[in-house]
Amino acid sequence: MKSVILSKKYTILFIILLLSELYIGFFVNDTIIRPYIGDLLVVILIYSFIRIFIHNSYLIIALSTFIFACLVEFAQYYDVISWLGLEDSKTARVLIGTSFSWIDILAYFGGFILIILVEETFKRKNIQPVL
């Protein structure tokens, strides 16, 4: 039986980002951190979660994460919260979101680019990356 090797670095990063995103989602109501930094970080959060378990190409995982984030954003355009009957759930509204925005997609792209830059930098220096 093959054992699963979990990445300790990505696990720690995931926990830190998850706590940060929950704090931003529930307690921050500003015009910069919540709408832009939160969206940028969510791509890195999802990426780090996947990297806990999957150690393949970071580029494929990063791109898949970006595409997934875009799909969630387009689900907001089609009001998936209402379709699921979750209009009154603050948690669902925070996790899924409620309004489509091209700027959110740009923020997701920023997270994707940040992942690539960090991974490439560590790869060139032959250091184990954190992202």
Q: How many H-runs (helices) and E-runs (strands) does the chain carry?
A: 6, 0
- The C-alpha atoms of residue 100 and residue 108 are separated, in whole angstroms, by 13
Break the chain into its structural domains and give their ranges: 8-69+102-124
The predicted-structure confidence for 77-104, as pLDDT tens digits, reads as follows 998 888 888 888 888 887 788 889 999 9
- The C-alpha atoms of residue 122 and residue 40 are separated, in whole angstroms, by 20
CB of 115 closer than 8 Å to CB of 46 = no
Angle between helices 38-53 and 8-27 (to 10 degrees): 150
CB of 117 closer than 8 Å to CB of 129 = no
Question: Confidence class of residue 129 from pLDDT cuts 50, 70 and 90?
Answer: low
Spell out the SS3 assignment of 41-80: HHHHHHHHHHHHHCCCCHHHHHHHHHHHHHHHHHHHHCCH
The distance of Cα 125 from the centroid of its chain, to the nearest Å, equals 25
CB of 44 closer than 8 Å to CB of 17 = yes
Angle between helices 58-77 and 38-53 (to 10 degrees): 130
The predicted-structure confidence for 24-53, as pLDDT tens digits, reads as follows 988 999 999 988 999 999 999 999 999 999
Range name among 24-33, 65-74, 106-115 with the lowest pLDDT average: 24-33
Q: Please give the share of the chain, as a percent, with pLDDT higher than 90.
A: 61
